[in-house]
Structure 1
Amino acid sequence: MLSLAACGGGAAADPASSKYELVQDGVITAATQSEQPPFAITDAKGRPTGFAVELMNESAKRLGLKVQYKTTTLQGILAGLSAGQYDVGVAGVGATAERKKSVAFTTPFYWGFTDILTPKGGRQNAVSDFDGKRVGAVSGSVQEDFVHREMKRVKLVKFKDQTALITQLLSGGIEAAVLGGASADAYVAKEPLRIAVKLESLQGSAFPMRKDGDPELLKDIDEQIDEMIDDGTYIKLYRKYFHDPIAADLVKERPKLTKQIMKNPDLDPSRR
């Protein structure tokens, strides 16, 4: 596990050091991933970045807190939160009903697609085209659940992270990979891959937090995200990492987006 310290925009921690119950006083201990584009990745200097990371860093800055990142897997994020090792998970984590039994979630900050990827020369265009094929997904992900639920006739192969998943897809170890749409777009842009099937996601991505953690911190992070929507910071970050219009389901969860969409008609959900 790699530990990476990142200051939430350089703000001093003292003003908020006694306000929240945290693993470390005045510091948000955050679990993240190193290869989940565009939500959480490690840059050339070894620092965590991505849409979810920048959103959390800005939220922490506005709350007068620092963020210390620890890199692990998706399963490590959820298990670590349940064990009280972290305050928050910073990645694209689906807020499923099953996960809500063991961790708390903020309001979703993103809502996307579920994509099935194949090598560029693939001819599959429907879920049923993968019957009998070796299809990969990250272990413990909502995409693994999707394969179990919607692709019952495939041979599921589970991987610890997206790096291993894509490596096997490119080498022919598996014939398809199921990913969140934003991650799929990122890989298609740089690898000889294609999106064979695109389906709407059933739940949004949110920040998971300790079930027994400070409810005020969860509430305040949500409020900071809404403030970022109001002042245009959220839209600026969204445009940096995504090209699709904003999902209608996300607007329902965060209605303040309605005003921003009126100013940015290309982000209108009807264009998806």
Structure 2
Amino acid sequence: MRKTLLRALALATSGLAACVMAACGTGTPAANSSGTQQEGVLRIGTLTDAPPAIYQQDGEFTGYDNELLKVIAAKEGLKTEFVGTEFSSLLSQVNNGQFDVGSSSISSTAARKKTVDFSNGYSTGFTSIITRTGAGSAEVGGYAGKRLGVVQASIQDDFASSKVPGAEVVRFPGYNEGFAALRNGGVDGWVVPKEIGQKYIDQNPDIALEHAFTVETKDTPSAYAVRKGNTALLDKLNHGLAEAIKDGTLEQLYTRFYPNQPLPDELKKGGAGLPVTNS
């Protein structure tokens, strides 16, 4: 009996040790000294269909946001691993530790700061309502009773829901689905970041489309999302971003992906940057 009890105790003890070593349990994965789940590797949630900011080409994740993040990671001695996801679930996936970073032109709004922390900003932009040529309105009030397509949980979803009186908001999981609805007449307008909308217009010259309404969104710059309280990783992202601004790498990438869109002075070579304060 004594031998049996000792054997059972040894098995239980070894099982507990294995569980500890493997980080068993359902809680949020603990970050290591680099602020990541896996030492030296950033696991990044991003999108596949929002050029020129974030997209997939020839099986590789690219776009301004992701190329800049690769530069930041390299400056901090980190590697990158990109995984495609839907925007509507991205912030919760960052918060629960599934991803170390969210990269998706995420506007750093006060509401989102309740779920995640943000790096300093790396771009500002404009929100557009794209319609068939001549079918839209230059006034936001002209969309009452119109069906407006948005990517679910995006800043454009917030805009269409709260600042376009009388509009019927139709939510989609991604940009491709929203554009398809605009193309086939399922929606009257498509609310998107201006540069992303322009890319779709350029790639589909067979459809007569225009930016019927545009508004600047500079007060909530795009930033990378990290799990709340992950200051180790946040500090690395902000340091690498500051270096990319200082040496002009950010400006070079921006000019490459947005040749016709002005870059804020704060992000030009040697600029002061766009600080983001987390609540």
TM (norm. structure 1) is 0.82
Q: CA deviation at 1:95?
A: 0.5
Q: 1:82 aligned to 2:95?
A: yes
Choose the corresponding residue for 1:49, options 62, 66, 79: 62
Residue aligning to 1:10: none
Residue aligning to 1:72: 85
Whichever residue aligns with residue 63 of structure 1, its letter is: E
Choose the corresponding residue for 1:137, options 134, 150, 159: 150
Residue aligning to 1:157: 170
The answer as to whether partners of 1:226 and 1:254 remain within 8 angstroms in 2 is: no
The answer as to whether partners of 2:143 and 2:165 remain within 8 angstroms in 1 is: no
Q: 1:228 aligned to 2:244?
A: yes
Residue aligning to 2:256: 240
The answer as to whether partners of 1:112 and 1:247 remain within 8 angstroms in 2 is: no
Please give the per-residue CA displacement for 1:61-110, whole angstroms capped at 9, x wherever unaligned. Answer: 11121111111011221110111111101121110100001100001100
Q: CA deviation at 1:256?
A: 3.8
Alpha carbons of 1:156 and 1:71: their partners in 2 closer, same or farther (altered >3 Å)? same
The answer as to whether partners of 1:116 and 1:176 remain within 8 angstroms in 2 is: yes
1: distance between equivalents of 2:81 and 2:210? Answer: 36
Alpha carbons of 1:123 and 1:160: their partners in 2 closer, same or farther (altered >3 Å)? closer
Q: Pick which of 215-224 and 111-120 moved more.
A: 215-224
Choose the corresponding residue for 2:51, options 22, 33, 37: 37
Alpha carbons of 1:258 and 1:23: their partners in 2 closer, same or farther (altered >3 Å)? closer
2: distance between equivalents of 1:258 and 1:205? Answer: 16
Please give the per-residue CA displacement for 1:210-229, whole angstroms capped at 9, x wherever unaligned. Answer: 1132x122112112122112
Whichever residue aligns with residue 87 of structure 2, its letter is: L
Larger Rg: 2
Residue aligning to 2:226: 209
2: distance between equivalents of 1:21 and 1:226? Answer: 18
Percent same amino acid among aligned pairs? 29
Q: Pick which of 20-29 and 167-176 moved more.
A: 20-29
Alignment coverage as a number of residue pairs: 238
Q: CA deviation at 1:155?
A: 1.1
Gaps spanning 5+ residues in structure 2: where? 1-30, 274-279
The answer as to whether partners of 2:46 and 2:102 remain within 8 angstroms in 1 is: yes
Q: CA deviation at 1:258?
A: 6.5
Please give the per-residue CA displacement for 1:168-219, whole angstroms capped at 9, x wherever unaligned. Answer: 0011100101111221221222223210011111411000111132x12211
User: Which secondary structure state, in structure 1, belongs to the residue aligned with residue 74 of structure 2?
Assistant: helix
The answer as to whether partners of 2:245 and 2:269 remain within 8 angstroms in 1 is: no
Whichever residue aligns with residue 180 of structure 2, its letter is: T
Whichever residue aligns with residue 24 of structure 1, its letter is: Q
Moved beyond 4 Å, runs of 4+ = none
The answer as to whether partners of 2:136 and 2:189 remain within 8 angstroms in 1 is: no
The answer as to whether partners of 1:33 and 1:73 remain within 8 angstroms in 2 is: yes
The answer as to whether partners of 2:64 and 2:253 remain within 8 angstroms in 1 is: yes
User: Which secondary structure state, in structure 1, belongs to the residue aligned with residue 203 of structure 2?
Assistant: coil
Q: CA RMSD in A?
A: 2.0
Please give the per-residue CA displacement for 1:132-171, whole angstroms capped at 9, x wherever unaligned. Answer: 1111111101111101111120111111111100010011
1: distance between equivalents of 2:165 and 2:270? Answer: 39
Q: CA deviation at 1:255?
A: 9.5
Choose the corresponding residue for 1:186, options 199, 222, 227: 199
1: distance between equivalents of 2:232 and 2:82? Answer: 21
